Amino acid sequence: MSELTALTLTAAREALRRREISARELTEAHLRAMEAARDLNAYITETPERALAMADAADARLARGESGLLEGLPLAIKDLFCTEGILTTAGSHILEGFVPPYESTVTRRLWEAGAVCLGKANLDEFAMGSANVTSYYGPVRNPWTRPGEEVPLVPGGSSGGSAAAVAARLCLGATGTDTGGSIRQPASFCGVVGMKPTYGRCSRFGIVAFASSLDQAGPLTRTVADCALLLQAMAGYDPQDSTSAAREVPDWSGGLSGEVRGLRIGVPAEYRVEGMPEEIERLWRQGAEWLRAAGAEIREISLPHTRYALPAYYIIAPAEASSNLARYDGMRFGLRVEGADLTETYMKTRGRGFGAEVKRRVLIGTYALSAGYYDAYYLKAQKVRRRIAEDFTAAFREVDAILTPTAPSAAFRLGEKSDDPVAMYLNDVFTVPASLAGLPGISVPAGLSAEGLPLGLQVIGRAWDEATVLRVGRALEEAAAFTALPYGLAEVAG
């Protein structure tokens, strides 16, 4: 790990503005780190030439005294964002060779702010997974291992490549997307900060769609201040996404503090799930204690329908996916496997092009939407979804933010839970409820498990109140003082 790759996004930004470092040397340091860490499989596509050209352009602007919000800062982009002229795979065989002729709104904003594209980060196929093991391009390794062990661990998912790249210092920050926990859970597993903003904060235009009523883009970074900065550049109204909100993007990074005095923080009784390790329960209590010590008031709250969030999600998300993924038919882009006629061509293309988890979800979704089952499954799930959203509305009459664990475990072994879909789904038990309600949530690294692996705490806020979420996140970050590094990096750093 070089000094340059160890910088935070915020510190690198200052150093670039003061011209103490150049965007080119910062980018080169990251390209070298990426090359040295290819065994993690964090990137599907590296874009060194484009990165250096973008860095040189940033240096030229900096020399003229111009600088965008992210001028010269090297980032990884989850390979679910369409990037003009750069292979975009969504981690799927069915998008083989797909080079978008257009740019997603979120990435366009980043490049307009001066950011440098290092490459496209690995992910679960179509963002469907919680361990980054469903990617056609192979699993991502978590840079963390249990001390003294070589056994590969998963980075979480679906933004596993993004989280691993941030943790391993292979970028200063990364974009992710979160449908049911896909930013927050890998952030927790990799010891980094990850935030899903309010549904509608970031444009979904040009992001390969999984479940359109749930998908949101968000940042993965090493600090809460970096998270505020990156989100600020990503967010904003876009006429090309009718569900994006025409709201001002606040100056989250400028006004950021960890001041929580007088804030009421809710601790939901229903998040004490069966089988949750005692150390996670303890860390959660510790988090509440930190906030109390900083002047917040802690209140027990109830979110009664919590346990129904996951099953409702596993109807709604697959139903939307079955509809969104209908576009992959082998006719206009991507893989085509020829059959005897049109129907057979469709069936062979989709049969070979989709992996096992994607097929399971498309089939569940097709079933839930099919004649005779629509009311029993899809409509029922949408009614339960409203119940869950109402639970939050009621809770936010009494509290300003909610504190929970991010995930029910630390990172697990590669291969574990892979043969049991439901066991894999349970990873998202704490992140899915806020997703269904469209609320903002952040995961902040708060401590290490007994095995020496990072554990995150989640803060959930009111709709459009990312500011409070970031503030509480910052307070947790200050109190936790999480400085542990993945073991490979700790050795190099000496």
Partner 1 sequence: MALDKTTVARIAHLARIEIPESELDALTGELAKILEWIDQLGEVDTERVEPMRKVMDIPAHWRPDEVTDGGRREDILANAPETHDGYFVVPKVVE
Contact footprint for partner 1 (CB under 8 A)? 97-99, 101-102, 198-200, 213-214, 239, 242-243, 245-246, 305, 307-308, 311-312, 314-315, 322, 329-336, 338-339, 341-348, 350-352, 354, 359-360, 362-364, 366-367, 370, 373, 376-377, 379-387, 389, 421-422, 438, 463
- Between the alpha carbon of residue 381 and those of residues 178, 316, 317, 328, 373, the distances in Å are 20, 7, 10, 26, 12
> For residue 420, which amino acid is it?
D
Is residue 411 a contact partner of residue 280, using CB atoms and an 8 Å limit?
no
Per the DSSP assignment, residues forming a β-bridge with 459 are 403, 442
CB of 334 to partner 1, least distance (A): 7
Kindly give, in sequence order, each residue whose CB lies less than 8 Å from that of residue 225, ignoring residues fewer than 6 positions away.
8, 10, 253, 256, 474
Is residue 121 a contact partner of residue 43, using CB atoms and an 8 Å limit?
yes
**Catalytic entry in 22, 78, 188, 322:** 78
Comparing CB distances to partner 1, the nearer of 315 and 399 is 315
Comparing CB distances to partner 1, the nearer of 269 and 493 is 269
Half-sphere exposure in the Cβ direction for 83 (13 Å, CA): 25
Is residue 324 a contact partner of residue 209, using CB atoms and an 8 Å limit?
yes
Comparing CB distances to partner 1, the nearer of 373 and 487 is 373
Comparing CB distances to partner 1, the nearer of 321 and 489 is 321
Cα(284)–Cα(268) distance, integer angstroms: 11
CB of 144 to partner 1, least distance (A): 30
Comparing CB distances to partner 1, the nearer of 293 and 356 is 356
Is 135 considered catalytic here?
A: no
Comparing CB distances to partner 1, the nearer of 257 and 370 is 370
CB of 136 to partner 1, least distance (A): 16
CB of 351 to partner 1, least distance (A): 3
Comparing CB distances to partner 1, the nearer of 3 and 419 is 419
Is residue 107 a contact partner of residue 83, using CB atoms and an 8 Å limit?
yes
Is 158 considered catalytic here?
A: yes
Kindly give, in sequence order, each residue whose CB lies less than 8 Å from that of residue 59, ignoring residues fewer than 6 positions away.
22, 23, 24, 72
Residue 140 φ/ψ region, left for φ over 0, alpha for ψ in the -120 to 50 degree band, beta for the rest = beta
Neighbours of 294 (CB within 10 A): 18
Residue among 411, 344, 350 at smallest CA distance from 192 = 411
Cα(335)–Cα(337) distance, integer angstroms: 7
Half-sphere exposure in the Cβ direction for 27 (13 Å, CA): 28
**Catalytic entry in 92, 182, 409, 418:** 182
Q: Strand, helix or coil at 59?
A: helix
CB of 206 to partner 1, least distance (A): 13
Comparing CB distances to partner 1, the nearer of 66 and 420 is 420
Label the pairing between strands 401-405 and 297-301: unpaired
C-alpha 15 chain-centroid distance: 27
CB of 470 to partner 1, least distance (A): 19
Is 257 considered catalytic here?
A: no
> For residue 151, which amino acid is it?
V
CB of 315 to partner 1, least distance (A): 6
Whether the ω angle into residue 158 lies within 30 degrees of 0, i.e. cis, is: yes
C-alpha 10 chain-centroid distance: 20
CB of 121 to partner 1, least distance (A): 21
List, by residue number, the catalytic residues: 78, 158, 182
